[in-house]
Amino acid sequence: MSAALEIRITLAGAERVVAGGTTAGEALAADGRTVIAAKINGEPRDLATLVADGDIVEPIAIDSEEGRAILRHSTAHVMAQAVQEIFPGARLGIGPPVENGFYYDFDVEQPFTPDDLKRVEKRMREIVKQGQTFARRAVSDEAAREELAAEPYKLELIGLKGGADAEESVEVGGGQLTIYDNLDPKSGELCWKDLCRGPHLPSTRGIPAFKLMRSGGAYWRGSEKNPQLQRIYGTAWESRDKQDEYLKRLEEAEKRDHRKLGAELDLFSFPTELGSGLAVFHPKGGVIRRIMEDYSRRRHEEAGYSFVNTPHITKENLYQISGHLDWYADGMFPPMELEGARYYLKPMNCPMHNLIFRSRGRSYRELPLRLFEFGTVYRYEKSGVVHGLTRVRGMTQDDAHIYCTRDQMRDELKSLLRFVLALLRDYGLDDFYLELSTKDPVKFVGTDEDWEEATETLREVAESERLELVLDPGGAAFYGPKISVQARDAIGRTWQMSTIQLDFNLPERFELEFQGADGSRQRPVMIHRALFGSIERFFGVLVEHYAGAFPPWLAPVQVIGIPISEAHVSYLGDVAKKLRERGIRVEVDSSDDRMQKKIRNAQKAKVPFMLLAGDEDIAAGAVSFRYRSGEQKNGVPVEQAIAEIVDAVERRVQV
RNA sequence: GCCGACGUAGCUCAAUCGGCAGAGCAACGGUCUUGUAAACCGUAGGUCAGGGGUUCGAUUCCCCUCGUCGGCUCCA
């Protein structure tokens, strides 16, 4: 370290000269509350870091993404300290910041109870109030091992540090190990310490708002072969307001939960008699599903798809040919033995579509051949992962397989991606990004050249759509790379929707061939593609996206007639008849509830249009609209009202 | 599959420290005939998820199974 009296640094783009021994915090005139750390030469560092000649120093604000990560990481430390004080036997795992919060893993005798979390949170508040300082200290590997002798998981991390596949973590980086000491601000006494790369807030007092959220089991280093630790999740924010906003968002998401809305709106249920992950759709959900499917069918027809149907069960040989039994047997329902053969419920449609392809000789003139099916598949999802409609054991995929030549592949993929995005937009999703999943270096079949070509083609096609493209290295299925379309919903959550996968492998395994113009036999390329993914899942996503308030074209009941009194029922009956003739799903509430109650019921059912009629409307040959917003429009001539409704349905707009 | 919590009427939720299970909404029957989010009265509804155990007695305590929820792992 140079003992220069003056050093030159670059601060906010401008050169400055400071005295030797100046810290980044001093140089930035940071208060430790709004500016909580510094970026020195692009690396996040503590404010207490001494700046050196030539350093480029920038502030990290607590309300920046990086700043919040530091805040959350420091909060994780406070939590770990509190946990170890209350549960002295608790051994430390890892404790990184994550999106919207942080967690820390602990090896404890007993899993945490909600009551334990309260105690930990209480102790954390005391630590925050006390204002313990975070002090960084470099240690040698040997010294760290000695200091952390009682922390077996930390020792393991130290051991990993130098390894060939050195993973970056918040505990250990590639180089020098550091330990952060939490010191009493008055006495300077050591309160707690943790192996950590940092940086940290200067003081625990700089944590403006935090809350412990939940606890649960988590495998050490993410592998189910390892022991299970207990993880506590928390959140922390730069202000109380920001935290309240976040908690509000969570509440809002909860209100949209499709499982809750599905029951409330009488759309679907999971009868326990059927078994976990098997849904039944009630009439109201059934209508929505039918409309979704009908519209999709129509669009596929227009786009040149052929419709096929295949059974739900097959002899095992098919999945031996396809290779699914090699890779996914664990995820399939166990076989049924009959007549000396083993039958499996189908987990994938593609092998059956391949059989259709090869049922006779194929000509290049037939390509691209696009086979489409609403194919129901069954997968044995592990009991802990089944989740509403988004993770089920029986589902219907809107599955298509496109067989084409290598020359056609690029254009076919381009138009396919455009088709997929257009259709998703019609269902009301319009904020997308694409994800390109590439070869898993371990789990793959086929040649590197094929993968290379397929991946590059997909990349090119994805880029041609000018949507944000995120890479997912190693995320592909064993038989080929894929593009997935991720959609952001009404409250900004992202859902994986459509997938488009290139496959050079299955055509090989099924020995698919077509005859080219020159008479030679050639192998087609296969494109797998599910647009909704599964209808069930897509249905669930739409419920959440619309918070149950479907646009008129999808709404199970589009119009409900509400008579002011019983005398007006038949008039509304006539209006309803006219609407029905125009294909509108309409009901008249002729129950003996009062009008106000009927409005309340229709409102709760999220019916897009309420048509009220009383003496005044009847005299004018009119009806009065009430919309979901509560807004009303009185005395609308019947024909005009019908036109408005039909128009909204036909244009598939939200109202 | 693993860790944890939970399961009371169709729904939301009470109560019973082991002693005949209770309310609102919904349903059904009646009265009322109404102008933009809940009229009034009444009736019915439960093997307290299922099975086993402990006990004079179990919805309550214990065990198993099923299911749900929150995590982890997995997701063709």
The pTM (predicted TM-score) of the whole model is 0.93
DSSP letter for each residue of A555-622: -SS-EEEEESSGGGHHHHHHHHHHHHHTT--EEE--SSS-HHHHHHHHHHTT-SEEEEE-HHHHHHTE
Based on C-alpha coordinates, what's the Rg of chain A? 31
Residue percentage of chain A with pLDDT more than 70: 98
Pairwise pLDDT comparison (A168 vs A445), residue with the higher score? A445
Task: Return the structure tokens found at A403.
Answer: 């067989």
- With tokens 């300082």, the residue in question is A133
A122, A114 contact by CB (below 8 A)? no
Could you report the per-residue pLDDT of A485-508, keeping only the tens digit for each? 999 999 999 999 999 999 988 999
Given the residues A81, A132, A230, A397, the one annotated as active site: A397
Quick check: A610 CB within 7 A of strand B? yes
Quick check: A384 CB within 7 A of strand B? yes
Q: Is the pLDDT of residue A167 over 80?
A: no
Given the residues A46, A350, A585, A626, the one annotated as active site: A350
Quick check: A401 CB within 7 A of strand B? no
Nearest nucleotide by C1' position to the A479 CA atom: B76
Residue A175 — pLDDT band, cuts 50, 70, 90? confident
Could you report the per-residue pLDDT of A250-265, keeping only the tens digit for each? 999 999 999 999 999 9
- With tokens 């999943």, the residue in question is A437
Residue A3: its pLDDT value, please?
53
Quick check: A442 CB within 7 A of strand B? no
Q: How far is CA A267 from the centre of its chain?
A: 23
Nearest nucleotide by C1' position to the A595 CA atom: B34
Tell me the H-state helices in A440-520.
448-464, 506-509
Nearest nucleotide by C1' position to the A324 CA atom: B76
Q: Is the pLDDT of residue A603 over 80?
A: yes
A399 is a catalytic site residue: yes
- Could you tell me the distance in Å between the CA of residue A345 and the C1' of nucleotide B50? 28
- The vertex-A603 CA angle with A602 and A607, nearest 5°, equals 65
Strand B positions within 7 A of protein Cβ atoms: 1-5, 11-12, 26-27, 30-39, 66-76
Quick check: A631 CB within 7 A of strand B? no
Could you report the per-residue pLDDT of A382-420, keeping only the tens digit for each? 999 999 999 999 999 999 999 999 999 999 999 999 999
Task: Return the structure tokens found at A325.
Answer: 């039994």
Quick check: A395 CB within 7 A of strand B? no
Phi, psi for A372 (deg, rounded to 5): -125, 145
Residue A164: its pLDDT value, please?
44
A397 is a catalytic site residue: yes
- Could you tell me the distance in Å between the CA of residue A385 and the C1' of nucleotide B65? 19
Quick check: A392 CB within 7 A of strand B? no
